[in-house]
Amino acid sequence: MARRRCVLILSVLSGERPVTEAIEEAQLNRQTYYQLEEKALRAMLRALTPGATEAPAQSTEGPALRRIAELEAKVSRLEQDKRRSERLLLLTRKLVKPGRMTLGARGRPSKARQLSSTAGPTPSLSSSPSGSGKPTTSPPSASTPTPDGGDGS
C-alpha cells in the first residue's frame, strides 16, 4: 500500500497525471491525498538533507524510544529481583521445618493460666532468696548522702 501511494504521489508531482484522476483511481478524498503528499514531501526532505541522518525523526521519537528502553530495563531488573526473592523464599521454606510456633510451657503464660493462678504474685528478681517477698537492701555505701548532708563517712 505504501509503495502504491508513493507511485501515486510521484506521478502527480511529476505531472504525469492530474490530482483528480489520481484520487478517483485510489478512491481517496482530496484532503487525504494532500495530507499524504505533504507527509511524503517532508519525509523525502528529511531523508535527502545532507548531514541530517535521521536527526529530525529521532528528535520526535527519541524521547519516547529512550523511555521505552528505560522501562524495559526496569522490567527486566524487577523480574530478576522477583526470581531472586522467590528462590530465597523457597530455600527458607526448605530449611525451616513446619511446626509449633511456641516452645510449650516456656515463655509467657497465656491469659487463661494467669487468671487461674491463685497462689498470689510470684517473687520478683530483686526479692531475697529466702522467699520472704521483701526486697533485699544493702547498707548505705560511702557515697550515699545522709540526712544531715554528709556523705556517710
Q: Which three cell numbers stand for residue 74?
A: 526496569
> Residues 43, 69: one domain?
no
Question: In the 8-state DSSP scheme, what is residue 127?
Answer: B
Range of the domain at 13: 1-48
Flag whether pLDDT at 5 surpasses 70.
Answer: yes
Task: State the total domains in the chain.
Answer: 2
Judgement on whether residues 3 and 23 belong to the same structural domain of the protein: yes
Residues 41, 72 within the same domain: no
Say what the pTM is. Answer: 0.34
1 and 41 assigned to the same domain: yes
Same domain? For 38 and 12 the reply is yes
Is the distance from CB of 127 to CB of 134 less than 8 angstroms? Answer: yes
Q: Model confidence over 99-141: pLDDT tens digits? A: 777 766 666 666 766 666 555 566 555 555 555 555 555 555 5
E strand or H helix at 79: helix 55-95
43 and 5 housed in the same domain:
yes
User: Could you tell me if 42 and 74 lie in one domain?
Assistant: no
Residue range 17-52, pLDDT digits in tens:
899 998 888 888 899 999 989 998 888 888 888 876
For residue 147, give the H/E element and its range. none
Q: Are residues 17 and 39 in the same domain?
A: yes
| Same-domain status, 37 and 72 | no
Which residues make beta-bridge pairs with 135?
127
Of 152, 122, 123, 150, the C-alpha closest to 138 is: 152
